[in-house]
Structure 1
């Protein structure tokens, strides 16, 4: 991992495979970080845990502290949505990545050198560069799907096109506590369904069809409610105006 050169420690990183071009940037960032720190002769390394008295230091707390400057954390109100127990496990990861704006969308893949720019357009509209916000909200296909679901429940509201703010606004549309669970499940279902539909179009050459997508989305919400909550969803007009 490294060696002493004179009185200075020099890190020497070795990799078990050849790195892709897009990984070199991450390696340079890692090297910049670790070269600022290293063993010192005649000094014992340790961890100083400020404002706390403890015999041992939890590994998770250490890794979270080291990575917090690199990965933006979600507001607590949004994090509670992501891991809500009524969202199926297969959808939690997509909801989490979507809210952290870390979905592997076209713009990110181009930046990493994985795909050429001409392959990075939105699969739904084919007109604009695919980004996290575009594929989920800005694209006419996606936004129309959200509006169809809101109208289905007899609601209407202007909503943000940034994932975490959108999620908070979405839950604010419903006031009655008894409806919060199904409304959160619906949020997770739409996130997951949009990403699933995107992959079907991009990799299996499926043709975008808003009407069919919204129909399957409503059916999926009902199935998820049955699976996760053990009951059928209530009639949409019950939630009208949040009551």
Structure 2
């Protein structure tokens, strides 16, 4: 490719490199997905110096090699640039043989398709953003186009992480949880560490992301505590990302909906701190202490963001 994602995005693509944020997701996979979305919403402003006539998307909706594969197969050079195929007198094509009658018709279609080309210039080829008149690309513009204009059910769990009234570091941690990037035993084993996986809270199962934050019997008691407070019946999903996607408060006041949204953040943060305390500081709290820590943390988050009626949570401490 002549104008590559490496040049546009300013980063290197590597099959071996892995993102530190996304854990076991390959960097090349993330970049390829981003590049496809970027290309879909951009176009080439052709000067012709570097863009390939047959292989690059410079006119129409598809590359010419895909639209006219029969003509491309008999072309002598598929790497020819647009500028090398164009002259003030018209287009120059070099085929390995004379065209058959049916190929002449296809050739006419090709000429009609590229008839609107205004000719080459001495300027460089440029990559333009199609959704704004100035054609300039920015991260903010692709963010608004690709996220805010997408249907709600296709946005993904990011909104349920970042649009919540929790400390920034907790939001970052929640993002790691749903990305399965926390350094649980499961991830450490994948990184090659020779450790025996065991849940530090219940000792009944391997320490995986889904087990630790959803299904562990200690964690389950925290979920049950909050669900009982709101008299909510709940069936726990398999994955953490699925939980955030369906963690929606049906009914209740606006105040209840506000503090309902930060419950997963609070539980995950409490569980991770308890897990690390047992793992690194040999500090074991019983379930009563863990519940008190969770409710206390939750209460101060509510007070910090001026969520009304947070005092009712204090009454819950007396019921533990």
Scaled by the length of structure 2, what TM-score is found? 0.52
Of 232, 257, 270, 1:180 maps to 257
Greater helix share, 1 or 2?
A: 1
Partner of 2:271: 194
Change (3 A) 1:45 1:130: farther
- Unpaired segments ≥5 residues, structure 1: 1-10, 12-22, 35-41, 64-73, 237-243
Q: How far apart are residue 82 of structure 1 and its match?
A: 0.9
Q: Deviations over 1:174-219 (max 9, x none)?
A: 5433321111122321121112222111111122522210122112
User: Do residues 26 (structure 1) and 104 (structure 2) align?
Assistant: no
Alpha-carbon distance between aligned partners in 2 of 1:159 and 1:188, rounded to the nearest angstrom: 16
Deviation at residue 90 of structure 1 after TM alignment: 2.3
**Equivalence for 1:145:** 222
TM-fit CA distance, 1:89: 1.5
Match of 1:131 in 2: 208
The residue number in structure 1 matching 2:135 is 55
1:100 to 179, 201, 225: 179
- Higher radius of gyration, 1 or 2: 2
Q: CA deviation at 1:24?
A: 9.2
CA–CA separation in structure 2 for the residues paired with 1:29 and 1:178: 40
Structure 2 spans left out of the alignment, 5+ residues = 1-5, 7-13, 19-25, 33-48, 51-123, 144-152, 314-320
TM-score by length of 1: 0.67
Root-mean-square deviation (CA, aligned residues, Å) is 3.7
> Partner of 1:26: helix, strand, or coil?
coil
2:109 maps to none
Structure 1 residues 51, 231: CA separation in 2 closer, same or farther (over 3 Å shift)? closer
Q: Can you list the C-alpha shifts for 1:88-115, whole angstroms capped at 9, x where unaligned?
A: 22211111111222222111111112x2
What pairs up with 1:194-233 in 2 under 5 angstroms? 194-229=271-306, 231-233=308-310
For residues 175 and 112 of structure 1, the distance between their equivalents in structure 2, rounded to whole angstroms, comes to: 45
